[in-house]
Structure 1
Amino acid sequence: MLEFRDVTLRRAGRVILNQVNLTVSPGEHLALTGPSGGGKSTLLKVALLFEPVDEGTVLWNKREVTVADLTAHRSRFLYIGQKPLPFEGTAEEYLDLPFTFAANRALRADREEQDRLMEALGLDPALKKSPYTRLSGGEQQRLTIIQGLQLERGFCLLDEITSSLDQESMRSVIRHFAQEKGRTVLAVTHNREWLDFGFSEVCLESGTLWRRK
């Protein structure tokens, strides 16, 4: 369970987060909405302790997360941003990239699972042999999502991951996360289709957060 308790963050004299309180329970699927500049992406960074707060605490299972907990704490989360990474190589090599990192070397790429995820997100598995740079932005973004989904992380922090996708691709991505009952999901979005797929709405505007009824 992730909890933000009375979190306040200021930058250059501006209040980015104002006494934010939010508890995300295991298995919960939340869509974090609100206008641009309202602090949504910053809240995800606070969850991972990439942004120090001025007041308040971040807790995991009711225990405050400290700098000493960073490695273990961050390993619980899958963070996916809205822009694919630059990469030279094939799409398959891009999918395999996380397994080259020290934190994931105990894991192995599963080709059948890669193919299953590609088909679920509307991609032809034959694309794995294509140069990554020749793929469209939408194809690269879906590969980035699959790249992360391969990892055994139970809590997904998603930052506008469907913003560059067409309607059909966007729905396939949202549908996939909606069906991921074993994962907890906190998704920053401007797209209200997440709500149509059963996500509960939390709104953050001008640093103030509330749950929609």
Structure 2
Amino acid sequence: MIQFIGTTIRYEKEQPVREFNLEVSKGEKAVFTGPSGSGKSSLLNALMGFVPLACGEIRINNQLLSPATINKIRQEISYLPQELSLDLDTVGDLIYYPFEFKNNRHLKPDNHKINEVLKLLLLDESILSKKLSEVSGGQKQRLGLASVVLLNKPIIILDEPTSALDDDSAVAVAKLIGSFKKTTVISASHDLRWIELMDTQIKL
């Protein structure tokens, strides 16, 4: 369970989130919607511990998110930002990147599992041998999602996960994410194709 309780986020010149309250149950697929600047990404960043709260709190499985607990909490989360800016060479590097961290090494998938997820995302396994510079923005976005899915964490956080995708790819991604019944998903999106397939829509 994820709880936002009186959550307020304030930057130097703006306050995008004020006294926000929400409870997301285990396995629920929730999406933040609304215009740019409404606080969608700010809430995701706060959930990851990237921005401090001005007041209020966030709890994950009844554990208060704080500087003392954030590292432990992040071990339960797979996160995909809107823009991937990793200095990597090949598609394979991107897929395996999260598994280089100590806490994820034991989760490293085999080739069969990787190819299975790529197929569900409408990607051919031959893409693994390509340079990242050779793949499109939409392919790169789906590869990032593949990496997130392969981590198999109980919570997934996605910022605009379908922004570069065509209709077929966007639906494939949403259906794959929705198939993980026990996985809690919180996302931010402008994309109606994604929004309509989520359990809960929160307009900001």
TM-score range, shorter chain: over 0.9
1:38-57 pair list within 5 angstroms:
38-57=38-57
Whether the 8 Å contact between 2:162 and 2:170 is mirrored in structure 1 is yes
Identity rate of aligned residues, in percent? 30
Residue 77 (structure 1) aligns with: 77
Structure 2 stretches of 5 or more lacking a match? none
Whether the 8 Å contact between 1:87 and 1:94 is mirrored in structure 2 is no
Residue 187 (structure 2) aligns with: 187
* 1:62 counterpart = 2:62: yes
Deviation at 1:10, TM superposition (A): 1.5
More off after superposition, 179-188 vs 103-112: 103-112
Tell me, in whole angstroms, the C-alpha distance in 2 between the residues paired with 1:131 and 1:157. 26
Evaluate the alpha carbon distance shift between residue 172 and residue 105 of structure 1 in structure 2; reply closer, same or farther with a 3 A threshold. Answer: same
Whether the 8 Å contact between 2:8 and 2:19 is mirrored in structure 1 is yes
1:22-171 pair list within 5 angstroms:
22-171=22-171
The one-character-per-residue Cα deviations of 1:99-138 (angstroms, maximum 9, x if unpaired) are 2122212222321111011110110111111222111111
Tell me, in whole angstroms, the C-alpha distance in 1 between the residues paired with 2:8 and 2:196. 31
- SS in structure 2 of the partner of residue 11 of structure 1: coil
Bigger share in strand: 1
Residue 3 (structure 1) aligns with: 3
Root mean square deviation, CA, Å: 1.5
Residue 208 (structure 1) aligns with: none
Whether the 8 Å contact between 2:148 and 2:156 is mirrored in structure 1 is no
Tell me, in whole angstroms, the C-alpha distance in 2 between the residues paired with 1:158 and 1:187. 5
Whether the 8 Å contact between 2:78 and 2:155 is mirrored in structure 1 is yes
Count of aligned positions: 204
Deviation at 1:182, TM superposition (A): 2.0
Structure 1 stretches of 5 or more lacking a match? 205-213
Deviation at 1:41, TM superposition (A): 0.3
Tell me, in whole angstroms, the C-alpha distance in 2 between the residues paired with 1:78 and 1:88. 19
Whether the 8 Å contact between 1:80 and 1:159 is mirrored in structure 2 is yes
Tell me, in whole angstroms, the C-alpha distance in 1 between the residues paired with 2:160 and 2:196. 16
Evaluate the alpha carbon distance shift between residue 47 and residue 147 of structure 1 in structure 2; reply closer, same or farther with a 3 A threshold. Answer: same
Deviation at 1:199, TM superposition (A): 2.6
Letter of the 2:191 counterpart = N
Letter of the 1:73 counterpart = I
Tell me, in whole angstroms, the C-alpha distance in 2 between the residues paired with 1:70 and 1:100. 20
TM-score (norm 1): 0.90
Tell me, in whole angstroms, the C-alpha distance in 2 between the residues paired with 1:34 and 1:54. 22
Tell me, in whole angstroms, the C-alpha distance in 1 between the residues paired with 2:29 and 2:91. 29
Evaluate the alpha carbon distance shift between residue 88 and residue 3 of structure 1 in structure 2; reply closer, same or farther with a 3 A threshold. Answer: closer
Evaluate the alpha carbon distance shift between residue 6 and residue 107 of structure 1 in structure 2; reply closer, same or farther with a 3 A threshold. Answer: same
TM-score (norm 2): 0.93
Letter of the 1:17 counterpart = V
The one-character-per-residue Cα deviations of 1:16-38 (angstroms, maximum 9, x if unpaired) are 11100011110111121011110
Tell me, in whole angstroms, the C-alpha distance in 2 between the residues paired with 1:176 and 1:137. 19
